[in-house]
Structure 1
Amino acid sequence: MQHEPELLSPAGNWDCARAAVANGADAIFFGLSKFNARLRADNFTDEDLPELMEFLHAHGVKGFVTMNTLIFTSELAAAEAQLRHLEQSGVDAIIVQDLGLARLARTVAPSLEIHASTQMTITSPEGLEFIDSLYHLERAVLSRELSLKEIEKFSPKECVPLEVFVHGALCVAYSGQCLTSESLGQRSANRGECAQACRMPYELVVDGETKDMGEQRYLLSPQDLAAVDLIPDLVNQGVVSYKIEGRLKSPEYVAAVTRVYRKAIDDAVAQRESTVTERDRYSLEMTFSRGLSTGWLAGTNHPYLTHGRFGKKRGVRVGTVENCGRGWIILNQEGPVGLAPGDGIVFDAGENRNLEQGSRVWKVEGNCLSFHHKHSKINWDRIKPGIVIYKTDDPKLNSEVRAMWKNVKLEPLRSGLNITVTGCVGEALILSCNGISVSSAEKLEQAQNRPLTTETLVDKIGRLGNTAYELGSLDNQLEGDLILPLSALNRLRRALVEKLDQQAAAEEKAAPKPATGRLADVLPSAEQLSQATEQAAELSALTRHPHQIEAALENGIKRIYADFEDIRRYKEAVEIVRAHGGDATIHLATPRIQKPNETGYFKFIDRSAPDGILIRNLGAVTYFKGRDELYKTGDFSLNCANPATAKLLIEEAGLDHLTLSYDLNINQLMDLLQAAPANWFEQTLHQHMPMFHMEHCVFCTFLSEGTTYKDCGRPCETHKVQLRDRVGQLHTLAADVGCRNTLFNGRAQTGARFYDSVRSTGLHRYRIDFLDEDKTTTARTLQAYQQLIEQKRDGHMLWQDLGALEKLGVTEGTLEAKTPHSPK
């Protein structure tokens, strides 16, 4: 089924919503005070919804609500209430991350469209197939790391309608897979509390030595996305929705960006040359950008996307300092963008961005710029020839953009009426439209002169200026030359409008049919909860090197997961376990991300003949579904945070057990274990938290002259790389088989002190994840936790001992109970 392209704009508040509507958005997306991934935006209230949806629909614009966070067990009832309220308020769709929430929406608010959020990490046709099989989606928002060629593999004209981000900030980590803010500061990106750690400076430590990076400090901060020139390609592919990021941005940003992409989409649909001007492109860069790029859409080019020189808004590069003195500079201008009095600039000396200097221009005389000594705090001793200058603010442009929404009078759409006029001599004249008819009290008479003509009828009946309607067409079926007082035509017109208004009001008030479903329908049944049986505690180990497998076997571990960077070594992992004998089983981890044409990874894992699979992505769920001879464990990356999601993954994905979400603190984890059978789960008791999981390759960008894996020389295979953050903590960087990078927290996280409480729920599976530990450390760590589950050591004592065992100590990290976030 073909769909007309839709321009989808962000709205963090009322002004942004008006700016989007005034500049051609077909739909807006916005959040409420909870369950949305931009809690720092102003957002809308429940009370705003009816008025907002009435405003949008009156202007022919749809409204989508973001419920794109993970939902915790204690929040399911509130989520159910919000879903019902959204449906009653006429919301068109919800954008959803949580698998259980999507099932709940289908159950209790069936008229709401479900759009799978980019937070679901849909990166392959196989992953989309699984999600669509659960909900019959109205739309899927693809991950931003996909290229045009990869999007084409989804067959956009035939599959679920696809939505693609085309403009705005890019997260360096895969959406739905970033645990950085949660790990470092208990502010989960999966809960709308991202602390933007990717925009911070880092030092690169290679083989223990800090590498001099010059001005490259922002090693994880991508440039912003601007795909305006790729819109024709996406339209030709059949992509339905074109999404602009920016619910934290200003109405001026929304207006300017919406206006430009409205042009681009209309041009592409009409198959004409682009009408996007250089002034339009300038407005994109000035309203907000950290530098603009085509992101991943045009293919992989790591240094192009993440150059590392800055992490904040930059604006347009205008040139360099040719000469300077106290209060003035000579500008060596580059390109067409100049400077005018009042413009804001920043001097880019390649220094720490928190120390860089900026000011407003006071006078412009040729290429000489002067700065007012009273209003400028520039330390002129630090300004030198050669320093780069960026234009960061343009008051004239700001006024132009503000006028795009503040000075626009928004007229509601008027419905086009197709009216039929019938009648004959001696009968009433009848107007019919939309199933409604009105008849004149007067009878039609034979006209002696000036009969009713089509032109007269159009003139009199088409006078709909102060109504919600306009005349679309008029079909004159009068029989013969007839006449009726013109006053009667006016009364008929008013009567028709009154009936049409009554019809519209009745339709508006007609609430959706109450759903028969309830929250209980998506939760584990009482029978399932009662069937959970007490079992002896067992310890498993996730290994990343063969010597760790050997240590696990020597210490009696029965379930071993292998997660090797080089999956060609998976056969070796299987052979080590088989050669050891006994009843230990080997389970091979899939990559965390699977892109189109990467099912070969699954096939290779399959051919390695493991006992089970550690499933980390939705594509793997589809590939291994129905393979009953393989034990299937859903890993933390499937984001199981509530019993509704757990039930769905166990019953419909066919998984044998699930790793509890790393977003859960101890209280939330306990809530889940009490609301679902404990034997469905496994808890990771000890690990170096995988914080950033990125398509961006730090190895390629900063340790090679290449741009992709084809020409980078594979520095990941020859160097140990760490990133040092602002507080001096070192974090280990690793690449996987797809050249995707993971940054692991330098400090290990332990749940040792919470073990007794968790064990009391009946949970019997516990996992230890290793990173780069040697064989001795692996063995000592396993022995310590074995003593814990055998009740030979208490959790508090183990927690203290681990501080000595781990070089950088340990943290309770995400498990530590925290105060709930209070939105503004």
Structure 2
Amino acid sequence: MDRQIEILAPAGSYESMRAAMNAGCDAVYIGGNSFGARAYANNLEEEALLRAIDETHIRDKKLYLTVNTLIKEQERIEKLYNYLIRFYLQGLDAVIVQDVGVMHFIHHNFPKLPIHASTQTTLTMAQGANLLKETGVTRLVTARELSLKEIRLIRDNTDMEIETFVHGALCYCYSGQCLMSSIIGGRSGNRGRCAQPCRMPYRFHSGDRMISSRKEPYLLSPKDINTVALIPELVEAGIDSFKIEGRMKRPEYAAGVTAVYRKYLDYYLTYGNDKFNNLIHSREYETDMKELMDLYNRGGFSQGYGKEYHGKKMMSMTRPNHSGVYVGEITGTQGKQVVINLKEAINAQDILEIRNTEEEAVYEFTVKDPHEKEGKLITNVGMKHSKIRIGDRVYRTKNNNLLTRITADYIEKDTKLGIQGILRARLGKELALTLTYKDITITAYHEIVQAAIKQPMTKEKLSAPLEKLGDTLYRLDELEIEADENIFIPVAWLNEIRRNGVQSLQDAITGGHRRNLPSQLKKDKAIKGYNLSNEYDMKDSLSNTNNITKNNQTAKENGDKTFGICVCVQRMDQFQTVITYPEVDEVHGDYDTLSNHEIITMARTTINAGKKFYLVLPHICRALVYEKLKKDIVSFIEENDKIDFIVKNFEEISLLQTLMKEYKINTDIKLNYNLYIFNKDAKEFYWDKGLYQYTAPVELNYMELMNLGVRDCDLLVYGYLPLMISAQCLYESTKGCEKCKAGQRVEDYLVDRLDKKFYVQTHCLGCYNTIYNGQCLSLLKQSEEIYNLKPRNLRLDFTFESIEEVQSVLKTFIDVYYHGSKTYPDLSDYTTGHFKRGVE
């Protein structure tokens, strides 16, 4: 097969980068000291990263820099340009980006730098990905939840490169849609600081009854994926780059996993499907898979979502971290010693862990003398043997022999690049050394060659200093010497011409990747920031004038206190309450929880009342719901062409803009807060696409919102925040699927170690779960700050509230924000979210 498939390896450090390259990767992805989604990895400082860019190019490989966090407005102005400029000039191959504002900024200021859309952009269809092409995006990293069929569908509908995770950790939530770590502890996954709350224990309750098992507390912890056996199908799906997860892991992991995927991918591309199938049913394959297990696994592996939509067998619910490899069982105790009946060979410095029948670790030890007798190991466990029982299982969590071998093969032993040389030493002419690597040839020169007075140089004496390439990246595979017989050349000359020649060759290799400085005009604009305020204020003013009804006249007369109120509802009874309030300017109905009949009724009633109606589209829009959503939207528009829409992903933007052209309608499209307007470049990105209405992000604090400017934004002031959007189903992995509880008052919830609740809601149309914060957001007491922000609208989201709660909340907000009331209900059970604290 002629296709070139890239193996893309993680590099959490310089050592990991080298190890992965020695193991056969084609490219590495790595973080610098800013703006990367693994803030706690051993990321490279600037000088080290510049060297890394050169080294990857010398080795004929590529380096992609992660700039895949959301960037606040002030960071964009002060830091982003200066952070990237030296890497750009050095020849950085691409940047991996989540923030559309960063995409816009980079494409404008560094137009020759390819951009890869991070998996954090939650791209699920080509329709969404193609929206990013005009912004310099050349590759999309697919959402990890996609099936092979969905990836094939993307391949058929875009010419962008496709990159997909093939090995390593899975998030429980769609990447880019998780606020759990952010809200719980202020460490945002969107800012590279995820605290991994999905690896913590939870209990799942229905009312007062716990419906999850105490033996399986890690309800949100997926197994790592291993897709070696799926390599033929991954290739046939049209994937261009096989991405290995693991920038937080050790160099041995990066090298070991890379080597396995290199071996099996090359085997398939060379020998085809039949021989590949024979290989993966061999003992050799079993050994290789066991070594991957030794490197890292969580309760074994799954094959991810490629052929499985979701399910309990994809989860590691008894243990959230490295499970190791089963090696034996306790068969007896003798005083302070235990007897282990071994199923696998063990070695000195292996770490073994004994686990009870509840899969709890009761004892861990390092093997000192792996002295086996008839397949048994007797080891001293001191006084702790009282916790150990016959029948307890023993796992190896560190395979020392494997790590030693990987270290020797890929870390300590660098792969050298073969070069060819010609030394010309002609009497009376300059000493010349020509070096060639692939199609690159250079010649270095030195002093005039002199005649020998005593001992003329032999070819052996001439070649010996030239072959001493030491700690360089090269080895001299071939050296031709063209020399006169009666000459003398000092060894110092030979050493110097060798050093100069190697450096010149290296400069020639890396020089082909260098770029020129972008124009000064662009640089000045980047550093100063875009002055978009007048442009946006004009649009804000127009929108607010149209948006605020006569019933808001009291607020209008207060000048700065002018904004509308928009309310999102999930049920018909909530709507029937909300529509009676004259102060409400917009009603947002949730597509996921309402029937088509209810949506049409809501829209008609709202529009007839002189208010705007927005249909809130699903969090996730994959191929399986895209066609139904398209059909439904067409029917809604045909019924009432004044319906507007709130979108939560790029696929929905593309769908609506296509339908607007097809049906020649002019509907408003408003962006939900999960599309992350963190900076003014993000606004300009959407502005260029004809999108002018936004919802302010929920991870910015008051000062950051002020710095961004939210006059063109709705601002969420009340609601239960969705913390996770997951393709997994808590019902299916515990008590069994119950199609479907969407739209009902939530009686089912998770409870964490601190007894905090998180409500669970299912969406069976798109087959995903939403996990909500159990503590409701309320900015009731922050009215003065919000008056200063001057948002377009206040937004209140009702999810599980009863009619009485809707009435109480809405009346209180109207009293405080419109009539200046200072009487507040008890807010001890509420949170102000990030309005005060923000995220790192």
Identify the TM-score tier after normalising by the shorter chain. Answer: 0.7 to 0.9
CA contact (8 A) 1:328 1:368 kept: no
Q: Aligned partners of 2:699, 2:198: CA distance in 1, in Å?
A: 19
What corresponds to 2:734 in structure 1?
702
Q: Which amino acid aligns with 2:615?
A: L
Pair 748,352 (structure 1): closer, same or farther in 2 beyond 3 Å:
farther
Q: Secondary structure at the match of 1:253?
A: helix
Q: Deviations over 1:51-84 (max 9, x none)?
A: 2222222222211110000010010020121121
Q: Secondary structure at the match of 2:112?
A: coil
Deviation for aligned residue 1:655: 2.3
Q: Does 1:260 align with 2:269?
A: no
CA contact (8 A) 2:89 2:516 kept: no
Deviation for aligned residue 1:778: 0.8
Q: Aligned partners of 1:64, 1:801: CA distance in 2, in Å?
A: 51
Deviation for aligned residue 1:384: 3.0
Q: Which amino acid aligns with 2:712?
A: W
Q: Deviations over 1:166-199 (max 9, x none)?
A: 1111111111110001111111000011010000
Q: Aligned partners of 2:601, 2:332: CA distance in 1, in Å?
A: 69
Deviation for aligned residue 1:330: 5.0
Q: Aligned partners of 1:108, 1:198: CA distance in 2, in Å?
A: 38
Deviation for aligned residue 1:788: 2.4
Q: Aligned partners of 2:441, 2:401: CA distance in 1, in Å?
A: 53
CA contact (8 A) 1:104 1:519 kept: no
Deviation for aligned residue 1:758: 2.9
Q: Does 1:545 align with 2:555?
A: no
Deviation for aligned residue 1:815: 1.9
CA contact (8 A) 2:350 2:400 kept: yes
What corresponds to 2:554 in structure 1?
none
Q: Secondary structure at the match of 2:41?
A: coil
CA contact (8 A) 1:540 1:766 kept: yes
What corresponds to 1:358 in structure 2?
364
What corresponds to 1:746 in structure 2?
774
The 5-angstrom pairing of residues 421-820 of structure 1 reads 505=507, 508=510, 512-516=515-519, 517-518=522-523, 520=525, 523=530, 525=532, 527-529=534-536, 531=538, 532-533=540-541, 536-556=562-582, 557-567=584-594, 569-579=595-605, 581-600=608-627, 601-609=629-637, 611-625=643-657, 627=660, 628-652=665-689, 654-673=690-709, 678-704=710-736, 712-714=737-739, 716=741, 720-736=747-763, 737-794=765-822, 798=824, 801-803=826-828, 809-818=829-838
What corresponds to 2:449 in structure 1?
none
Pair 392,572 (structure 1): closer, same or farther in 2 beyond 3 Å:
same
Q: Aligned partners of 1:309, 1:641: CA distance in 2, in Å?
A: 38
What corresponds to 2:427 in structure 1?
none
Q: Which amino acid aligns with 1:143?
A: A
Q: Does 1:305 align with 2:314?
A: yes
Deviation for aligned residue 1:111: 2.5
Deviation for aligned residue 1:356: 4.3
**Unaligned regions of 5+ residues in structure 1, if any?**
420-429, 440-459, 475-482, 705-711, 804-808
Q: Aligned partners of 2:706, 2:418: CA distance in 1, in Å?
A: 52
Q: Secondary structure at the match of 1:167?
A: strand
Q: Secondary structure at the match of 2:193?
A: coil
Q: Aligned partners of 2:109, 2:405: CA distance in 1, in Å?
A: 46
What corresponds to 2:430 in structure 1?
none
CA contact (8 A) 1:256 1:404 kept: no
What corresponds to 1:423 in structure 2?
none
What corresponds to 2:215 in structure 1?
215
Deviation for aligned residue 1:716: 4.0
CA contact (8 A) 2:324 2:398 kept: yes
What corresponds to 2:397 in structure 1?
392
What corresponds to 1:131 in structure 2?
132
Q: Does 64-73 or 717-726 show the bigger shift?
A: 717-726
Q: Secondary structure at the match of 2:249?
A: coil
Deviation for aligned residue 1:790: 0.5
Deviation for aligned residue 1:513: 2.3
What corresponds to 1:424 in structure 2?
none
Q: Aligned partners of 1:668, 1:260: CA distance in 2, in Å?
A: 46
Q: Deviations over 1:258-277 (max 9, x none)?
A: 11111122112213534664
Pair 638,212 (structure 1): closer, same or farther in 2 beyond 3 Å:
closer
Residue of 344, 351, 354 corresponding to 1:347: 354
Q: Aligned partners of 1:140, 1:548: CA distance in 2, in Å?
A: 40
Q: Aligned partners of 1:437, 1:410: CA distance in 2, in Å?
A: 24
Q: Aligned partners of 2:400, 2:483: CA distance in 1, in Å?
A: 61
What corresponds to 2:448 in structure 1?
none
Q: Deviations over 1:261-299 (max 9, x none)?
A: 111221122135346643322221111221211111222
Deviation for aligned residue 1:603: 2.7
Q: Aligned partners of 1:603, 1:212: CA distance in 2, in Å?
A: 38
Q: Secondary structure at the match of 2:816?
A: helix
What corresponds to 2:325 in structure 1?
316
CA contact (8 A) 2:712 2:792 kept: no
CA contact (8 A) 2:750 2:758 kept: yes
Q: Aligned partners of 1:186, 1:727: CA distance in 2, in Å?
A: 16
Deviation for aligned residue 1:501: 6.9
CA contact (8 A) 2:698 2:833 kept: no
Pair 416,786 (structure 1): closer, same or farther in 2 beyond 3 Å:
farther
Q: Does 1:337 align with 2:362?
A: no
Q: Aligned partners of 2:801, 2:507: CA distance in 1, in Å?
A: 69
Q: Aligned partners of 1:157, 1:774: CA distance in 2, in Å?
A: 45
Q: CA RMSD in A?
A: 3.8
CA contact (8 A) 2:252 2:406 kept: yes
Q: Does 1:370 align with 2:378?
A: yes
Deviation for aligned residue 1:515: 1.6
Percent of aligned pairs with the same amino acid: 25
The 5-angstrom pairing of residues 87-126 of structure 1 reads 87-126=88-127
Q: Deviations over 1:573-616 (max 9, x none)?
A: 33045246411332112111112343222331342346111101
Q: Deviations over 1:536-587 (max 9, x none)?
A: 31111111111111111122322111125345x1431330452464113321
CA contact (8 A) 1:667 1:817 kept: no
Q: Aligned partners of 1:761, 1:43: CA distance in 2, in Å?
A: 37
Deviation for aligned residue 1:24: 1.0
Q: Deviations over 1:359-388 (max 9, x none)?
A: 3456543354433244xx63x333334433
Deviation for aligned residue 1:113: 1.6
What corresponds to 2:416 in structure 1?
411
What corresponds to 2:81 in structure 1?
80
**Unaligned regions of 5+ residues in structure 2, if any?**
424-433, 446-461, 546-561
CA contact (8 A) 1:587 1:613 kept: yes
The 5-angstrom pairing of residues 206-245 of structure 1 reads 206-211=206-211, 213-245=213-245
Q: Does 519-528 or 620-629 show the bigger shift?
A: 519-528
Q: Does 54-63 or 727-736 show the bigger shift?
A: 54-63
Q: Aligned partners of 2:151, 2:479: CA distance in 1, in Å?
A: 42
Q: Secondary structure at the match of 1:311?
A: coil
Q: Deviations over 1:800-822 (max 9, x none)?
A: 5333xxxxx1011222225x74x
Q: Aligned partners of 2:576, 2:150: CA distance in 1, in Å?
A: 39
Q: Aligned partners of 1:386, 1:198: CA distance in 2, in Å?
A: 31
Q: Secondary structure at the match of 2:17?
A: helix
Deviation for aligned residue 1:165: 0.8
The 5-angstrom pairing of residues 28-67 of structure 1 reads 28-67=28-67
Q: Aligned partners of 2:479, 2:651: CA distance in 1, in Å?
A: 51
